Amino acid sequence: MLEASQNPNIRILSYTELEEVKGYVGNFTVRLRKKPRFINENKCTGCGICIERCLTFAPDEWNLGLGRRKAVYKAFGQALPNVPVIDKRHCGHFTKGICSVCEKVCPSGAVDFHQREEVIEERFGAIVVAIGFEVFDHSLYGEYGAGRIKDVITGLHFERMLDPSGPTKGHIVRPSDFTEPKTVVFVQCVGSRDAEKGVPYCSGICCMYTAKHSILLKEHIPEAQAVVFYMDIRAPSKGYEEFIRRAQEEFGVLYIRGRVGRIFEEDGRLLIKAVDTLAGRPLEFHADLVVLATGVIAPREGDKVAQMLGLSRDPNGFFSELHPKLAPVETMNKGIYVAGCCQGPKDIPTSVAQGSAAAAKVIALFSKEQLESDPQVAEVRDLSCLGCFKCRDVCPYGAIQEKEMGKRLVAQVVETVCHGCGLCTATCPTGAVQLRGFTDNQIMAELRGFVSQWKNIAA
């Protein structure tokens, strides 16, 4: 990330939201809303004195509420740009109007409580959408305590505990009493391959991260017992199967095919009721910590982004690529590409590959002087066009523009934007818009061809 930030051709606009996208491939006009961070990015040196001196604490989102952060903070250590942000909801200056410690201690005078929202409008040639994913909310699983049992945590939670600079300084502890767990149960497919919970698909990454977690648990606490409940182990990439085998054979992680049916709190421990479907017998034992391998779900903002960019989404909310095999990073909107988990659950290597593919596609697009386009596009016969612009209303791509034609306005097709669906042609009351290759006359001629063929057969 640091490397990207130092590349002269890359500009990172963090804390900025997409507001509007107009235009088409090679010619997008994008409006961005840069939210105020109340710290002048140009003046700030990133020394962090403001964070040190800040008096107000807030729950740390990055550590999933496990720890606390200050009201002026950086999201995480490697966050870029290296400029903190003041959290208006917690900052004493904004909530009580009394504190301005950070302003006083800042050696470069970068704190600016009056910073306003900034709207940036710029032109871009292509857009890559990589807005990521969200983690399934396991409170939908009542049998696992619906998020109320403290010692039932998610994989991401566990991951934060493993971080040496994280809230527990790299120690694995039970959130309820901060003691080391002796038996840890990992439950796979929580919010994954469960149509009843609205997630019929396989999240793909949980098998591997659970294996990693179980190995790390054994490395941190060698005498601990790791038990993994799985439905199927899906380890289809290079070296993955071997990794699972290592967890099982080298580290002695106990893999049980089956599912945990219920978790009860009992005498400060957790009573696990499960079933071993290979042995066909129910299991009941005590554990200290349960880690749920929560699945990947589509980003919440997905529909907003899809609407702004004219992208389509699959039934699970992930962005649809143009073609699952032949055009995996292109979208149905030319000049807009997708990469990473917003297109579907995937692991880091695949996300990197897809991101590289999207970047390469953009470079290929920009390397040409002129764009090639499909000849199957709509065209308008100016003289028949009434200027009612019903075509513009139905066009899914915004490919219809107004054109002045003497004193009146007529429709005009932007050929690079048109995808050739023909919705406009079927909508036009006068037949002034015709889709090349599929004009009304051509389709009718095809129809008449069949009819005369049938007549010949009959005769």
Interface positions with other proteins (CB under 8 A) = 310, 312, 315, 332, 376, 394, 396, 419-423, 425-427, 435, 438, 440, 443-444, 446-448, 450-451, 454
Give the shortest CB-392-to-other proteins separation in angstroms. 14
Closer residue to other proteins, CB minimum distance, 166 or 335: 335
Closer residue to other proteins, CB minimum distance, 260 or 395: 395
Give the shortest CB-37-to-other proteins separation in angstroms. 36
Closer residue to other proteins, CB minimum distance, 256 or 417: 417
Closer residue to other proteins, CB minimum distance, 51 or 426: 426
Question: How many angstroms separate the CA atoms of 442 and 432, rounded?
Answer: 15
Give the shortest CB-314-to-other proteins separation in angstroms. 9
Nearest to 104 by CA among 35, 61, 53: 53
Give the shortest CB-319-to-other proteins separation in angstroms. 12
Closer residue to other proteins, CB minimum distance, 332 or 342: 332
Residues with Cβ within 8 Å of residue 226, at least 6 apart in sequence: 184, 186, 214, 217, 218, 251, 252, 253, 254
Give the shortest CB-389-to-other proteins separation in angstroms. 16
Closer residue to other proteins, CB minimum distance, 407 or 455: 455
Give the shortest CB-423-to-other proteins separation in angstroms. 4
